[in-house]
Structures are given as C-alpha cells and as structure tokens.
Amino acid sequence: MNKAHPNEYLPERVAVLGATGSVGTQALEVIADKKLPVEFLTAHKNVTLAEEQIRAFMPETYVMTDAASAKDLAVRVRDTATRVFGPDALDEVIRSSKSPTVIHSILGEAGLSPLLSAIEAGKRIGLANKETLVIGGDLLMPRAAACGAKIIPVDSEHSAIFQCLDGKPREEIRSILLTASGGPFYGYSREQLSRVTREQTLAHPTWKMGAKITTDSATLMNKGFEVIEAVRLFGVRPEQIEVLVHRESIIHSAVEYIDSAVIAQLGAPDMRLCVQYALTYPHRLEGLTERLSLTKIGKLTFASPDAEAFPLLALAFRAISLGGGVPAVLNAANEIAVEAFLSEKLSFLGIAETVTQTVERLPEAARARSLEERIAFDRQARRIAQELILHG
Ligand code: MG
C-alpha cells in the first residue's frame, strides 16, 4: 500500500475540531511536523487564523461554527480549493469524513454534538475537551465502545494515566495519583484570595492555555473536572483518586496498582506530546517535545491541596459521587461564574460561592440520566448562576 505519510504508525489523514484554540494550534504543530494530510478543520470565529491555516495546511474543508465568520472566511479564501461551511454542516462533515482520527479540542458543552458524531462514525478521538466527559462521560464511553470508536485522552494528566495503565484492567488499580500544579495562588489564604485580580489570575500559566482554563486552574475547578474525567474515562471510583499538588509539573500523573507499585509518567510540560501520542498510540515516534533533564530539575515536591482555600475541588468530588446531572450543573455554573470573573463582574472567591450555591439549588439533578435531561439541568444552572451574580 502506498501511503503519503512517512510512517505507518500515523493515520493517513487527520481532522482537528477547534483548530484555532490553544490545543488545536499545538495539534497542528504536531501535524505539520509529521507532514500529515489534513482533511478538515473547524473553528468558531477566529477568521484570521483560520485563513492562515487554510493556506498552510490546505484542508479539503473548513467549518466555522459562527455563521457570519463562515461567510467572511469563504470570501477570503475564494482563491483556494478549500470549501468553507457554516455551523449547520459540522456534524455531517464529521460523519462523512474519511480521516480515521480526529483531534477534538472544541471548548465547553459545544463539543458534545461533534463528539457524538465522531463516536458514531467509529473514529479514534484524541479528546482534549473535558466538559463533554464531565456532562456525560458515563454515557459516552459505552457508546464509543459500541460504535468501535476509541477515545484517547489528550488532557495531560489523563494522557499520563492512560500511558501508565497501558490497557491494564481496572481491578488491578488501587488508586490514581492525579497531579496538580497548584495554580498561581498556591499557599494563599482565603483572605489573600479575596483580593486577587483577573490580571494576577491570568499571568504565567505553566501550560500554554486559554483564559477560561487558566482561571479554572487557579480555582482548582480544573482539577475537580479532571477528577470527574478520570472517573469517567477509567471507570474508577471517586475515592480511588488522590489529588497531589506537584509544583514542578514534571510528573503528569501516576497509577498505584494493588501490589503497591506506582507507575508514573514524566516529561516536560508540553501538550504536543499528548496530541502526538493520541495519533501514534500504541506506538511512539520522535516528536517536538524537549527532553527531560532530571538533574537540572534536581528535586520533585508533593503536597496535599488546601481544601478550605479551594472549595471547588471538594465540590467536584461531591458532584461525581452524586452523579447524574450534578457534574453538568457544576460545569455550567462554573462557565457562567468564570465568564463574570473575566469581565470583572465577580470576585475570585465569588466564583466558588456562585458555583456552590447553584449546585445546592439543584439537588434533583442527581436523578438526570439521559444526556437530554442533563443538558436541561445545564441550562437551568446557567440561569440560576446568572441570577446569583446579578442579585447575590
Ligand atoms: Mg490537565
């Protein structure tokens, strides 16, 4: 068989959902490095970057999920062979695609419908979107198995756990050590946290990422979502997960087996390694990530998270233990609260207060089974959170 790419461990072509975001652009760096043909890309409304990507990667199709941006992009790239479509075409483009592998890095609940389409098309899915797993991972994982789709986590911690597990059965797992950088406010008291600003929150993240997830890292909500993600992806119980603050971000997570052996995955913090592994699994290829020098790092440190200063982590454990639609409520309320914080309408501590109160107001969400019911609770949670932010 004559393949266009240089290595049999790579897919014949790929697609990237959410191509202009932080993970999407890093995925394209890997794709460029490996000279992989790109079938299609999607983005929301960053037309300037979408145009650059069309000229650099010459995808067959580009979908903009914002209708006006789709029209704008179509005009800009008239001289190319790339077809540009609007939001209505997204699911059909995924379902009819010939790429065996898609990288899914659409942010938020908007990623759910494209994920379902990719699952039903039996794709290998490098999944960077965490909200879909938070909302419905317990329903999506069995559906993926039934459709012959394979979900490979691209979130760095879950990629690490996936690598440490290496297909071992969950009966052999005693616990998962989920590492956390601790965020920019590690060691802060609640009193200190009451004064932190948007600028301080967004300064210098360890990982290259957007404003929403950088804020979630600062509140530890991101780690809470990752606990839920791990429960969904690996079928473990919430109490089997231990969150470990590890400031150096060198150990990306570890698995403790029932014989007390602990297997960890280490490396320089670089999402491109996670993306590449999703493409090459179960094989490995040389890549763009710099080598780890443990002698340069010298020592690695570990601590327990401060549950009092960062209550959203414990709330996430509670939400996944309650199950049903409670994690969806948590996610929706947090999206609204972070949006308000980023537009300076809510304080840093106000994020946790708003999310906690919203979850408390919707205890019946625990009984939501189907995705549809959970989405209905998601909508309700958004309204309640808005209301709390406006009127306290
Ligand atoms: Mg992560």
pLDDT tens-digit readout, 68-86: 999 999 999 999 999 999 9
Residue 3: pLDDT band (50, 70, 90) is very low
State the average pLDDT for the chain: 95
Note the pLDDT tens digit of each residue in 211-241. 898 999 999 999 999 999 999 999 999 999 9
Question: What is d(CA 117, CA 140) in angstroms, rounded to the nearest whole number?
Answer: 11
User: Separation of 157 CA from ligand 1 center, angstroms?
Assistant: 5
User: Separation of 47 CA from ligand 1 center, angstroms?
Assistant: 27
User: Separation of 93 CA from ligand 1 center, angstroms?
Assistant: 28
User: Separation of 96 CA from ligand 1 center, angstroms?
Assistant: 31
In the predicted structure, residue 381 carries a pLDDT above the cut 90: yes
Whole-model pTM above 0.85? yes
User: Separation of 85 CA from ligand 1 center, angstroms?
Assistant: 31
Residue 1: pLDDT band (50, 70, 90) is very low
User: Separation of 225 CA from ligand 1 center, angstroms?
Assistant: 9
User: Separation of 245 CA from ligand 1 center, angstroms?
Assistant: 13
DSSP lists the bridge partners of residue 85 as 63
Domain ranges of the chain: 6-153, 156-319, 323-392
Residue 324: pLDDT band (50, 70, 90) is very high
Q: What is the dihedral of CA 264, 165, 19, 371, to 10 degrees?
A: -130
Q: Which of 51, 35, 42, 46 is nearest to 19 (CA)?
A: 42
Question: What is d(CA 357, CA 312) in angstroms, rounded to the nearest whole number?
Answer: 11
Name the least confident of 189-193, 211-215, 274-278. 211-215
Phi, psi of 106 (to 5 degrees): -75, 135
Residue owning tokens 């996944």: 320
User: Separation of 290 CA from ligand 1 center, angstroms?
Assistant: 19
Name the least confident of 4-18, 154-168, 224-238, 251-265. 4-18
User: Separation of 25 CA from ligand 1 center, angstroms?
Assistant: 17
Give 323-392's CATH code, choosing from 1.10.1740.10, 3.40.50.300, 1.10.3720.10, 3.40.30.10: 1.10.1740.10
User: Separation of 167 CA from ligand 1 center, angstroms?
Assistant: 21
Q: What is the pLDDT of residue 208?
A: 65
User: Separation of 226 CA from ligand 1 center, angstroms?
Assistant: 7
Q: What angle do CA 254, 137, 258 make, to 5 degrees?
A: 30
User: Separation of 124 CA from ligand 1 center, angstroms?
Assistant: 20
Give me the percent of the chain exceeding a pLDDT of 90: 94
Classify domain 6-153 by CATH number.
3.40.50.720
